[in-house]
Structure formats: C-alpha cells, structure tokens
Structure 1
Amino acid sequence: MSEGSPVGAHVIKMMGYIQTLEKLGFPLKDELATDVILQSLPDSFKPFVLNFNTNEINKTLPQLLGM
C-alpha cells in the first residue's frame, strides 16, 4: 500500500488475497491473517499497529476493516 491511498480498499484487497489462499488449500489462522494485513500497512500506521498489538486487541477481519 502506498502512503496516502485509502486504507479500507487496501484491507479489502488483502482480505481477498487471504480468501484466495484459503480456496487454494492454504488457509491462514485469524491471528496470522490479521498480522499479514497490519504488516502490509505503511509506516504512518505504526502507532496504530503498536497499539493494536500492545493491547492484544482480538478482532475479526471485518472488524479490523471498521477500525
């Protein structure tokens, strides 16, 4: 994801990739899928990612999209 582009569209695209992996027989556990999405965000989201991991927030992928 490039800096300044819409984060919602990026998360939806990443969720699609995760669903594709599942269809191909390589499902990701929820925690790993969340980590993949969070790590794909640009550096400007580092405070959000740090807060998310520090507070051990457990959200589904659709809930993560809403954040």
Structure 2
Amino acid sequence: MFNGSLSSFLFGVVRPSSQQRMQIALGVARGLMYLYKECNTQIIHCDIKPQNILLNDYFTAKISDFGLQNF
C-alpha cells in the first residue's frame, strides 16, 4: 500500500492529525465488522496490531495478515 502500515504512519516523523486518526479508526472498525459479521466466509483475525493495518493512497485502512477458517 502506498502509505505503508499504520505503525509507520503513527510513529513516523510526521504525526497524523486527529481527523486522520479518526478516519483510520473508523476504517479499522468497519473492516473488523465486515470480517466478523458480514463476510460469507468466516474470517478470524488473531493479530490485530498497527503493523497489520495498511493505508492506501487516501489513508483508508485495510486489514492484512489474516487466515481463513473452515467450520
């Protein structure tokens, strides 16, 4: 992703604004809700951390590093 991980963005030289932080937090929440409630294939993410959240060109959060479980 163009803007790297959330970890590098939060702890980098340039600090994100409070509006950017809120946008990212809402994006992560939407992604988790999709994975746990809305996705047809059950997806369990056991390692949510800033290094596993990627930011695209518009600072939209994308959750990465997840596995699929067959139940």
Fold match by TM threshold 0.5:
no
**Structure 1 or 2: larger helix share?**
1
The structure number with the bigger radius of gyration is 2
The TM tier, using the shorter chain, reads 0.3 to 0.5
**Structure 1 or 2: larger strand share?**
2
TM-score of the superposed pair, with normalisation by structure 2: 0.36
TM-score of the superposed pair, with normalisation by structure 1: 0.38
